[in-house]
């Protein structure tokens, strides 16, 4: 049990790293929470700080999930809870580590518990567990983004696509690695991400959601706000 507690705590602390906030303060001498949507996620970083900072934020946020589910989840200080096959326990622990990292991103200790929406961190965690599924989900995200120019819509549909792809691979193609726990946790994360986008959904329905028009630096916005 000690191993699980340490894994969850470290994963949460890693997930709490507010990449865009630290980048904005260190390189741009501003607090990104005071600009744009006020969110510390990658989308606001792209809009306010430019594509380079946005890309760096995306990589760090995804890296938090990869590190938590791929490395931190391997810590063993004592025996993990019994009752399941060894491979099932490993899968559940990795998924829990990913959930803890997403929780840290959404409610970061280092940023007043006000963080991003967890899409990139969740994608990173799940990429460490089932990379092919994430490749398919990423394609869904890119296609929807290019067609609609709505990051929120692309994020929501990609989140919902994950458990759908897992279910298809498990029940249609009978891929052994697609465990039920992966489907359950994938569905849970999808619901969390959709809930985090509830205000975006309202704006999408009302036609007031902002589109991404360009990934060029928006220095003029910083000067005008």
CA-wise closest residue to 41 among 160, 122, 146, 126: 122
Average pLDDT over residues 206-213: 89
- Give pLDDT tens digits for 134-186: 999 999 999 999 999 999 999 999 999 999 999 999 999 998 778 888 999 88
Average pLDDT over residues 4-27: 97
- Is the predicted pLDDT of residue 225 greater than 60, yes or no? no
Mean pLDDT of the chain: 90
What is the Cα–Cα distance from 51 to 57, expressed in whole angstroms? 10
What is the Cα–Cα distance from 55 to 49, expressed in whole angstroms? 10
pLDDT at 77: 85
User: Which residues lie below 8 Å from residue 135, measured CB to CB, with a gap of 6+?
Assistant: none
In this prediction the pTM is 0.87
Residue where the block lists tokens 């899968």 = 91
User: 171 exposed, middle or buried (CB, 10 Å; 0-12, 13-18, 19+)?
Assistant: exposed
Output 225 or 63, whichever has higher pLDDT: 63
What is the Cα–Cα distance from 26 to 198, expressed in whole angstroms? 31
CA-wise closest residue to 108 among 164, 60, 52, 37: 60
The band of 223, judged by pLDDT with boundaries at 50, 70 and 90, is very low
pLDDT at 213: 73
Token pair of 125 as six digits: 């965690």
The band of 212, judged by pLDDT with boundaries at 50, 70 and 90, is confident
pLDDT at 176: 78
User: Which residues lie below 8 Å from residue 224, measured CB to CB, with a gap of 6+?
Assistant: none
Q: Which contacts of 38-42 are long-range, i.e. CB under 8 A and separated by 24 or more positions? A: 39/116, 39/117, 40/108, 40/111, 40/114, 40/115, 40/116, 41/115, 41/116, 41/117, 41/119, 41/120, 42/116, 42/120
Provide φ and ψ at 83, rounded to 5°. Answer: 110, -15
């Amino acid at each position: 049990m000690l191993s699980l507690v340490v894994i969850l705590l470290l994963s949460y602390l890693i997930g709490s790293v507010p990449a865009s906030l630290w980048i904005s303060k260190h390189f741009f001498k501003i607090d990104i929470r005071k600009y744009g949507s006020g969110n510390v996620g990658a989308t606001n970083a792209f809009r306010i700080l430019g594509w380079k900072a946005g890309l760096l934020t995306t990589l760090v946020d995804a890296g938090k999930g990869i590190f938590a589910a791929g490395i931190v989840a391997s810590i063993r200080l004592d025996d993990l809870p019994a009752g399941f096959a060894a491979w099932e326990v490993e899968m559940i622990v990795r998924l829990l580590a990913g959930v803890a990292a997403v929780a840290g991103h959404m409610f970061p200790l280092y940023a007043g518990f006000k963080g991003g929406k967890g899409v990139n961190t969740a994608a990173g965690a799940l990429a460490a567990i089932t990379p092919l599924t994430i490749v398919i989900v990423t394609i869904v995200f890119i296609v929807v983004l290019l067609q609609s120019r709505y990051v929120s819509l692309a994020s929501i549909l990609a989140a919902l696509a994950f458990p759908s792809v897992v279910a298809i691979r498990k029940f249609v193609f009978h891929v052994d690695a697609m465990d039920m726990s992966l489907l359950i946790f994938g569905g849970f994360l999808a619901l969390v991400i959709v809930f985090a986008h509830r205000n975006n959904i309202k704006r999408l329905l009302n036609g007031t959601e902002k589109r991404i028009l360009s990934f060029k630096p928006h220095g003029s916005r910083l000067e005008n706000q």
